[in-house]
A and B are shown apart, each in its own frame.
Chain A
Amino acid sequence: MNRRSVVELVILAMLLCGLVRAEPGDTAPRAKGVKVSVEAVSEKRDADLFPPGQVDLKWGMDGGLLIQLKFQGDSVKNVSQIGPAVVYEATDDLNESLVEKPPTATQPASGTESEMKTVEEGVDTDEAATLGEAAVGLRSPARRATKIVRLRGEFPVMAGGDRKTVEFTDLPSRFGKFLDDPTLTQAGVKVWIDAKKEDGTNDRTDLLFKLSGNLRAIRQVKVFDGNTELSTGAWYSTQEPQPMPIGRAITKQTVLRLFVVVNEKRMTVPFEFSNIPLP
């Protein structure tokens, strides 16, 4: 036996022992220092008692097990999107696997862009969110099972980066143009503004926005007159101009404040639990 064969044998033995895991994980970096906890476990078990085709009825959601997770940590601050979890291992106390759809080498472990769920940011807070919730779907365990002895996987998030405030004054001079600002450029988002009259008024009281590029970069939009907040809002997709009613004429003194996150990254949050009781 030559040296290469010995190395191959050792790797094979380690794979068999579980010391090296051949998993098609997300290539995104893992989020560090994130605490993940199980918030709730729910299960639907159901059965049709008629022979198939006897009654044509749809009975709603399919059966299965759902584990609600909560995660928290500085590295996932500003979290804007959470993807579907991928489960590498889920075994009950009857030694049955509960993994619904095992990841394959050709399929990404975690969600594609379209599968990511956007986290709605509260319009009344300027604070960067450092916690979020994710859900893990599993196959229903056997009725006799009492706990999940091991659950291990990961889910992708779009998070991190720096939250910056960008302020614009003299808005009427910017109507019909893209806002020019290095932070917006750095965030990869273009913002075009204009204003229109509300029906039956002579003043232009509605700000119009059109965004393109990295739409998630803009988390909040606020409009002030001096220190008085006139309006607040948030957009995640604005291909067409979106009106933002201000309630009074937009003048040179009107201030537009955009809350922007730059350098957001895709990362994965790993999770691992033992002995989760079944409901």
Chain B
Amino acid sequence: MNRKDFLLFALAGLLALPTCYASKNTADQLEPSLAHIAEYRESDHERGRTQIVLTVSGQATKRVIAFANFRVDQAIDDVAENLVPSDDLTLYTNSRIKEAYRVKRADGVPSFVVRGQMRTASRQATRITRLVGQVQVMTLSDESRSVIVPKLASFIANGGKDANLAKEKLKLQISTDNDGNKKHIYAFIGGNPTIVRKIQVIDDDGKVLEDGSFGPGFSLNTKDCYFALPRDVDDKMSLKFEVAASQKVISVPFDFKDIPLP
């Protein structure tokens, strides 16, 4: 290879770099790419662990709220060692439902980050020749619908039970302030809180009295919400939930080849 050929070859390699660790498989326009790899080695642990960080990109990621069940089905290095993690390595980190952490790519394509674990390659290995697996992501539809819970004071008095909420698999613990202030209402939403986009207290005529503000303790299992009403709570008030019309769980497969080890 002469010098010109070598430079052309190198340039072609550099141009290919942004996509060379992008998996060809997509689902609902979700494109996984391998962003980062980190090996943690410790003398008192036989194999340590390796964290692989994927970004999943595409316009469809705007509807993704969570991911779970990161799974490595095939992982092999260039000294033919199997790097598929054992269950005890992945049980905690890979099976929990996690909120999708959003990042901005330089090209503006919306993305979120997925982290998973696998076994650490030996020091003799230099590349992961094949890494195949999948991650499940939860998406919400763009469309919403409203669920109205009437007679707010009675609803609080009977412990937050309502058939329409039950249909949405929503569980509510709702109460007024402990010190007897009936203008302040706290609601803890369990069940399937990720579908809830907004909660409002409305009057008989549909006028919004208060937009509920979600607390900082947002998790995928609970949401807490606080209302400061303009008057004491009564049965002329209703709770209006705006929930996503549908949600679905889809699998995003990935298949990467020839990944250099750090």
Contact = CB atoms under 8 A, between A and B. Distances in A.
Interface of A: 40-51, 53-57, 59, 63, 143-146, 277-279
B30 to A, nearest CB: 16
A47 B124 CA distance: 17
B228 interface: no
Contacts of A41: 42-43
A45 B42 contact: no
B37 A55 contact: no
B18 A143 contact: no
Contacts of B166: none
B222 interface: no
A145 B103 CA distance: 36
Contacts of B38: 44-47, 59, 63
Interface string B37-66: 111111111001000010100000000000
Contact of B123 (A49, A54, A55, A278): A278
A53 B44 CA distance: 36
Contacts of A44: 38-41
B43 A55 contact: no
Contact of A145 (B111, B123, B126): B123
B178 to A, nearest CB: 22
A279 B126 CA distance: 16
Interface of A is mostly: loop
A278 B123 CA distance: 9
Given A42-B40, A42-B43, A49-B35, 11 more contacts: A45-B39, A46-B37, A46-B262, A47-B36, A49-B21, A49-B37, A55-B55, A56-B104, A143-B261, A278-B41, A279-B45
A49 B43 contact: no
B44 A40 contact: yes
Contacts of A278: 41, 123
Given A41-B42, A44-B39, A56-B104, A50 B33 contact: yes
Contact of A279 (B21, B33, B41): B41
Contacts of A144: 123-124
B36 A46 contact: yes
Greatest chain B CB density within 10 A among A41, A49, A146 is at: A49
A45 B40 CA distance: 7
Contact of B42 (A40, A51, A54, A56): A40
Nearest to A144: B123
Contacts of A59: 36, 38, 53
A48 B35 CA distance: 6
A214 to B, nearest CB: 38
Given A143-B123, A146-B123, A49 B36 contact: yes
B260 A47 contact: yes
A111 B189 CA distance: 52
A44 B34 CA distance: 18
Given A47-B36, A50-B35, A57 B103 contact: yes
Given A49-B36, A49-B259, A63-B262, A42 B123 contact: no
Nearest to B21: A49
A168 to B, nearest CB: 46
Contacts of A46: 36-39, 262
Please give me the 10 A-B residue pairs with the lowest Cβ-Cβ distance, nearest first: A46-B38, A47-B262, A279-B41, A45-B262, A41-B43, A43-B41, A45-B39, A42-B42, A279-B43, A49-B21
Contacts of A47: 36-38, 260-262
B107 to A, nearest CB: 8
27 contacts: A40-B43, A40-B44, A41-B42, A42-B41, A42-B42, A44-B40, A45-B261, A46-B262, A47-B260, A47-B262, A49-B21, A49-B260, A50-B21, A50-B33, A51-B17, A54-B18, A54-B106, A55-B105, A55-B106, A56-B103, A63-B262, A143-B261, A145-B123, A277-B43, A278-B41, A279-B43, A279-B45
A53 B103 CA distance: 12
Contact of B113 (A40, A51, A53, A57): A57
A14 B261 CA distance: 42
Contacts of A43: 39-42
Interface in B6-46: 17-18, 21, 33-45
Nearest to A140: B262
Contacts of A279: 41-43, 45, 48
Greatest chain A CB density within 10 A among B40, B123, B124 is at: B123
A57 B262 contact: no
A48 B52 CA distance: 10
Given A143-B261, A278-B123, A51 B37 contact: no
Contacts of A53: 106
Contacts of A45: 38-39, 41, 261-262
